[in-house]
Amino acid sequence: QSALTQPASVSGSPGQSITISCTGTNSDVGGYNYVSWYQQHPGKAPKLVIYDVTKRPSGVSNRFSGSKSGNTASLTISELQAEDEADYYCSSYTSSSTVFGTGTKVTVL
Amino acid sequence: VTLKESGPVLVQPTETLTLTCIVSGFSLSDPRLGVGWIRQPPGKALEWLAYIFSNDEKFYRKSLKNRLTISKDTSKGQVVLTMTNVDPVDTATYYCARGTLEGGFDYWGQGNLVTVSS
């Protein structure tokens, strides 16, 4: 159960779009359409922002969108805002378990 | 929907850690849902540990399977995780969360920071 690979950091200016990648294998990301994304502010619990690769939970801004190609999933945040500055984690279902990504720190310049 | 973890703040190495998650706003017998435990060492990434489904089916992280036990008391709305033979590397914030292994976890507790130290 190796962690999914994410870039350590991504940054962007307010109003811009950024994309965070999440790379796994054909046993996890590539094998199922069950990728989730979480936003975590310092000292807070994670918050689900995307599930089933592309779906948004009720109440999550439509500025958050997800996609997948092969063994790599992506989270795009459009119209970047100061409140989007946080850590982001992907996760994927894999053979009766789930695996998280290494995490990406998003900085709003 | 709320989940709240409770347990010790400090545990001695080699001891057994017991954490309780008290849930409200949903039933542990809901056939669509279960509860998982996830931990996060200070400054590090999330790590999934265990999951219990409504039908009492249990799933464990392979590398920790021989040290973990998850159970639930539906009538009390409680999910319990025990971890035996703890080590300082088990120092982390432990979260319980509602959801499924496939669809992710949509509600999380506030977390319980556990330090393993003598």
Mutate to test the interface with B, among A98, A102, A104 (most CBs of B within 10 A): A98
With an 8 Å Cβ cutoff, the interface of chain A facing chain B consists of 1, 3, 32, 34, 36, 38, 45-48, 51-52, 57, 89, 91, 93, 96-103
Closest Cβ–Cβ partner in A91, A96, A99 for B59: A96
Asked if B110 contacts B4 with a C-beta cutoff of 8 angstroms, the reply is yes
Q: Could you give the CA distance from residue A3 to residue A78 in angstroms, rounded to a whole number?
A: 26
CB-based contacts of B57-62 (< 8 A; 24+ apart in sequence):
B59/A96, B59/A97, B59/B101, B60/A97, B61/A1, B61/A97, B62/A1, B62/A97
Mind listing the pLDDT tens digit of every residue in chain B (118 residues)? 999 999 999 999 999 999 999 999 999 999 999 999 999 999 999 999 999 999 999 999 999 999 999 999 999 999 999 999 999 999 999 999 999 989 999 999 999 999 999 9
Query: Hey, what's the torsion of the CAs at B88, A8, A56, A72, to 10 degrees?
Result: -110
